[in-house]
Structure formats: C-alpha cells, structure tokens
Amino acid sequence: MRNEAFQLIKDVLIERKKEFITIISAYVIFYMFSTGMISYVNYDLSRVISYFPYVSMSNLGIAIALSNHWLIVIYYSNLIAMIATGFLITLNILLLLYSRKYACCQVNKKEKVTLASSSWLAAIPAILGTVACCGGGLILALISVVGTAIIPIISFLIQYNFQISLISIGVLLLTNYITLRRLLSRNGKS
C-alpha cells in the first residue's frame, strides 16, 4: 500500500500544482499574520534602526524590520510547525478534492461524511496551535471580543504550544492516512 499511497500523493500534487501553491500560500500568510510573525508595531523603529530592511539572526530565529512600523519575527520552531501543518492541511484538502472528483461515485454517503469529519477533526488542534504560537493580534482580538475570561485558556494554549503542535501534526497525518487508505481501497489498490 505504501508505494501506491506515495504514487497517489505524487499524482495529486502534480495534477493540482496551482491549487497546492495557492492553498499553502494562503495558509502561510494567515499563519504569519494570526500568530504575530508579521505585525504592524506602533513604535517607530527608525529610532533604533538606521536602515531598512534590517535583518537580525539569532539561535532562536530571524527578525526583519521591513520599514518604520512593519516587523517580521520568525522563530525556527514556529517555522517548522508552519511548514509541516501547512503541507499536511494542503495535502488533506487536495486529497478531499481528489476523492470528490474521482471517487465520488464509488464512495457512499457515510464514508463521505467520515472523510470530511476527519478533516475537520484535524483542523481543531492545528487552529489551537496557530492561536497559541506567538501571541499576536488574534489573541488580543479574542480577549477584546470574549473578555478576560478567556485568558486562562489562552495561557494554557501558550504554555503547551509545542505539545499542541505535535498533536496537530499527528492528527493531520492520521487523517491523511485514513483518506489515502479509503481512496486506495475504493480503487482496489490495497
């Protein structure tokens, strides 16, 4: 089954190259803005930085000051999580699109619901990991909308961000495996 699964993934990625690039780009942009990796700062950075763009690297990550008020801060651990979850979410979406296009006549209603619900199941920890990642504007927006009652939940998410990211990657791998297995069994390859 492994060779057939890799072949199916390769075929889907080749066939839907444009969709792959579009979806993963949208996810990366959403991820970077929602976690605060890209942010607008009220402080005038030209007071401490003499030229733009300014790049600073450390053992934790990269900071790039694009202008007086735009800042990009990328921690290496968050970069790895963003790439992994972005690829897996994109693959999950493309496999679901493939299942609808090529296997929709062969998959019964119950299995369609299971495939879709497994995808949503994977999205929950991915979203929690994204929210917990770096703080950023999304957390402030949640506090302003929901109130201070959400602060303990957010602090829990921030404290266990790494574990939530691992859970999200694990669940995404599992849902892709389930989707691939069902697609291959319907095509008579497993």
What does pTM read for this prediction?
0.71
Nearest-angstrom CA–CA distance, 161 and 38: 19
Contacts of 8 (CB under 8 A, 6+ apart): 98, 180, 183, 184
pLDDT in tens, 42-78: 888 888 888 888 899 999 889 899 888 888 888 888 8
The reply to whether 26 falls in a domain is: yes
pLDDT in tens, 123-137: 555 555 555 454 455
The reply to whether 14 falls in a domain is: yes
The reply to whether 142 falls in a domain is: yes
The reply to whether 114 falls in a domain is: yes
The reply to whether 91 falls in a domain is: yes
What pLDDT does 105 receive? 44
What pLDDT does 179 receive? 82
The reply to whether 70 falls in a domain is: no
Nearest-angstrom CA–CA distance, 121 and 175: 8
The reply to whether 167 falls in a domain is: yes
- Cα 55–59–61 angle (5° rounding)? 50
* Domains identified in the chain, total number: 1
What pLDDT does 157 receive? 67
What pLDDT does 144 receive? 62
Domain extent for 161: 2-34+76-186
Query: Within the chain, which residues score under 50 in pLDDT?
Result: 104-105, 113, 132, 134-135, 190
The reply to whether 160 falls in a domain is: yes
Contacts of 63 (CB under 8 A, 6+ apart): 55, 56, 57, 71, 72, 73, 74
Query: Torsions phi, psi of 72, nearest 5?
Result: -120, 125
Nearest-angstrom CA–CA distance, 104 and 102: 6
